[in-house]
Structure 1
Amino acid sequence: MKITRVETFALPPRWLFCRIETDDGLVGWGEPVVEGRADTVRTAVHELAGQFLVGADPLRIEDHWQLMTKGSFYRGGPVLSSAVAGLDQALWDIAGKAYGAPVHQLLGGPVRERARAYSWVGGDEPAAVRDQIAAQMEAGFTAVKMNGSGRMDRLPSTAELNEIAARAEAAREQLGPGGDFAVDFHGRFSVAGAVKAVGVLEPYGPMFIEEPVLPEYTHLIGRVTSSTTLPVATGERLFSRTDVLPALQEGVAVLQPDLSHAGGISECRRIASLAEMYDVAIAPHCPLGPLALAASLQLAFATPNFLIQEQSIGLHYHAGAELFDYVADPEVFRFHEGHLLRPTGNGLGVEIDEKAVRRADGSAESWHNPVWRHPDGSFAEW
């Protein structure tokens, strides 16, 4: 079996799919994208495919991963790692179809029958937080995640800290003691600011505090983890085992590798195994589309230290399309009491509606994250 063609599709709302075709008719799908840099990643996908994949045996997944990540003198970074990630997902999809099994069976078999998931909630005011959490609870979810703040000074003021606490208090009141909420800081604070902000959240018992400092300051995250009893999470902007190692050494409780950024199923499987050596849980980052979620679930069902799965249904970034729009049978993503059931289909376990993908290709406007500024005109972290 040989790879004959690699295609990419830019789709609303901000997704990029890749399709690998073989000479015996098997097709694999993946999702290689950096949010806000889809066009750049698309170019990288075709460069890697032309250099390493077309004409090759798709079942040599590990060899392909080694060549795609190490076959160039300059390596790594979000663009190249994300291009590799989507191609790697598609190769695993082909392998599962070739061997007649879900990917998680090829990774050693399932360790659970359902995977807990959480939903995003927005709302700047406590009342809005309560309303959105109530809607998710009505839908059966027992866990949510929300931003800790909006634009924030590097050292938050007392008023800003009070706002953070008020939103957390509203979340806890609505969820009660049996529900969970996570708080995403988006790296908007300095290390000292994060310590202050985490402190005001202690009484409300969040499930974890996400990305309290920027990824370039991962070597300092230990100052946050050692200041609190709350679990600290990071990882969506770390792209390899070497990237996540300092976080593990500094005491994080949860790693959040993104299977569309961190080298795909192959590398995220190794990241999960490394995390297990530090007694750290895995909560895959996934604010993306159906293929990223499908790949994340294959990892979740074969990973003993899996905690919870992010998913993007109803996410506020998604305008003009939704997760089910490109899926032939959405049943694989139906929620059951806040959980996703183990997929049994071959490969990634999701069937893509190719006609819908081809119709939508090129209709997406280029998405870029907002650029924020402080009142004095200086750059602010988004």
Structure 2
Amino acid sequence: MLISRVETFAVAPRWLFVRIETDEGIVGWGEASLEGNSGIVRAAVEQHAEYLIGKDASRIEDHWQVLTKAGFYRGGAVLASAVSGIDQALWDIKGKALGVPVHELLGGAVRDRIRVYGWVGGDDPSGVADAIAAQMAVGLTAVKMNASGVMGRIGTVAEIDGVLERVQAAREVLGPDRDVAVDFHGRFTLANARRIAPLLEPLRPFFIEEPVVPENSHLIGQLVQGTSVPVATGERLYNRQEFLPVLQSGIAVAQPDLSHAGGISEVRRIAALAEAYDVQLAPHCPLGPIALAACLQVGFATPNYLIQEQSIGIHYNQGAEVLDYVVDKTPLRFVDGSIERLTGPGLGIEVDEAAVRAADAVGNAWRTPLWRHADGSFAEW
């Protein structure tokens, strides 16, 4: 079963899909979405395709090793995302060839369903309660919100109170039986995060996410030791070596992104490493249906899997929605706040190839927003 064709599709709102075809006619899909950088990752996938064409599609681990290590310059978001999409597609092919879902190839299911959460924004305090009520109306039992919009390097009293007011509003709507995670989004300095995290403790957030930017991961242990709120991070860490220091620092939740951190193959290894530190997995996934399906396949076979992010209805999605690119929406439906175990072969979803090709003809031009502080200097988005 040899790889005969590798294609990429840049589709709205901000995703990059990878299609790999074999000489036996089996097609696998992956997602190499690196938001705002589709063109760069697309070029990386095309370069990797030079090696892949004519190779045995079933040798997933060997291909992963070559694609991540054969280049003298390794790693980083672009190259890791390219490999992630390819890796997902190869697992999809193998599952389809054997007629089983990918989680069966990873040791079999350890659970029957995975709890999921939805996004409710939070940059602007207005509308938080209504947005949460809408998520509850579709059956979700957990949400995530941004702690703030632009945040000063040392927050003002008004900025700090604004964070607390937003989370308080969320807690009042959710009640004691549902959860809210609070995303700091790397917008906070360590000093700000240390100041605010203890103030959130009475509201009992599910976790606080990315309290500092990833390049300051060496500081995160100082925050962990200063609050009882579980700390999560990892969406901008791209391999298990980058995860090791934050696991050692005492985080509670690891959040690798299956489209950025080496795909199914590497995230499985990150999960095993996290388990050794009593850390739960909650993969980052504000992406498309292929990335979501890949996350779920890992989750069904991973003991220390906490919850799954998904972006159905997220405020970033403009021009297309997650389920626009699948033939049958049923496998990804919510049941009592969860997604039931996927049973179809491969990744367990059927991609609507006609819709993908039509969307690629239009393309996507999403770019990361540029924010500035009141003094005109750069601010973290």
- Partner-residue secondary structure (3-state), 1:361: helix
User: Any gaps of 5 or more consecutive residues in structure 2?
Assistant: none
Question: Superposed, which structure 2 residues align to 1:226-265 within 5 Å?
Answer: 226-265=225-264
Measured against aligned partners, the alpha-carbon deviations of 1:137-170 in whole angstroms (never above 9, x if no partner) come to 1211110000000000111111111000001111
Tell me what 1:208 maps to.
207
- Partner-residue secondary structure (3-state), 1:115: strand
Tell me what 2:2 maps to.
2
Alpha-carbon deviation of 1:127?
5.3
CA contact (8 A) 2:145 2:181 kept: yes
Tell me what 1:149 maps to.
148
Tell me what 2:14 maps to.
14
**What amino acid does structure 1 have at the position aligned with 2:15?**
W
CA distance in 2, matches of 1:250, 1:152: 25
Tell me what 1:287 maps to.
286
CA contact (8 A) 1:122 1:128 kept: no
Alpha-carbon deviation of 1:123?
4.3
User: Any gaps of 5 or more consecutive residues in structure 1?
Assistant: none
CA contact (8 A) 2:122 2:149 kept: no
Tell me what 1:277 maps to.
276
CA distance in 2, matches of 1:76, 1:291: 22
Alpha-carbon deviation of 1:122?
2.2
Change (3 A) 1:127 1:380: closer
CA contact (8 A) 1:187 1:211 kept: yes
TM-score (norm 2): 0.99
- Partner-residue secondary structure (3-state), 2:362: coil
- Partner-residue secondary structure (3-state), 1:145: strand
Tell me what 2:330 maps to.
331
CA distance in 2, matches of 1:232, 1:210: 6
Question: Superposed, which structure 2 residues align to 1:282-361 within 5 Å?
Answer: 282-361=281-360
Tell me what 1:94 maps to.
93
**What amino acid does structure 1 have at the position aligned with 2:38?**
A
Q: Does 1:68 align with 2:67?
A: yes
356-365 vs 99-108, greater mean Cα deviation = 356-365
Tell me what 2:30 maps to.
30
Tell me what 1:47 maps to.
47
Tell me what 2:196 maps to.
197
Measured against aligned partners, the alpha-carbon deviations of 1:340-368 in whole angstroms (never above 9, x if no partner) come to 00000000001011111111113133110
Measured against aligned partners, the alpha-carbon deviations of 1:67-105 in whole angstroms (never above 9, x if no partner) come to 000010000000000000000000000000111110000
Tell me what 1:217 maps to.
216
Where does structure 1 differ by over 6 angstroms across 4 or more consecutive aligned residues? none
Tell me what 1:112 maps to.
111
- Partner-residue secondary structure (3-state), 2:331: helix
CA contact (8 A) 2:123 2:147 kept: no
CA contact (8 A) 2:124 2:149 kept: no
Structural RMSD (CA) = 0.9
CA distance in 1, matches of 2:33, 2:124: 32
CA contact (8 A) 1:82 1:263 kept: yes
CA distance in 2, matches of 1:276, 1:124: 33
Alpha-carbon deviation of 1:249?
0.6
CA distance in 2, matches of 1:321, 1:138: 22
TM-score (norm 1): 0.98
- What percent identity do the matched residue pairs reach? 64
CA distance in 2, matches of 1:217, 1:380: 16
Task: Count the aligned residue pairs.
Answer: 381
Alpha-carbon deviation of 1:190?
1.1
- Partner-residue secondary structure (3-state), 1:337: coil
CA contact (8 A) 1:127 1:170 kept: no
Measured against aligned partners, the alpha-carbon deviations of 1:95-146 in whole angstroms (never above 9, x if no partner) come to 0011111000000000000000000002455551111111111211110000
- Partner-residue secondary structure (3-state), 1:105: helix
- Partner-residue secondary structure (3-state), 2:29: strand
CA distance in 1, matches of 2:325, 2:35: 18
Measured against aligned partners, the alpha-carbon deviations of 1:315-358 in whole angstroms (never above 9, x if no partner) come to 11111101111101110111001100000000000101111111
Tell me what 2:181 maps to.
182
CA contact (8 A) 2:2 2:57 kept: yes
CA contact (8 A) 1:85 1:263 kept: yes
CA distance in 2, matches of 1:127, 1:41: 36
CA distance in 1, matches of 2:364, 2:132: 30
CA distance in 1, matches of 2:318, 2:5: 31
**What amino acid does structure 2 have at the position aligned with 1:5?**
R
CA distance in 2, matches of 1:12, 1:147: 23
CA distance in 1, matches of 2:12, 2:124: 29
CA distance in 2, matches of 1:179, 1:127: 21
CA contact (8 A) 1:185 1:212 kept: yes
CA contact (8 A) 2:187 2:213 kept: yes
CA contact (8 A) 2:214 2:237 kept: yes
- Partner-residue secondary structure (3-state), 2:136: helix
**What amino acid does structure 2 have at the position aligned with 1:341?**
E
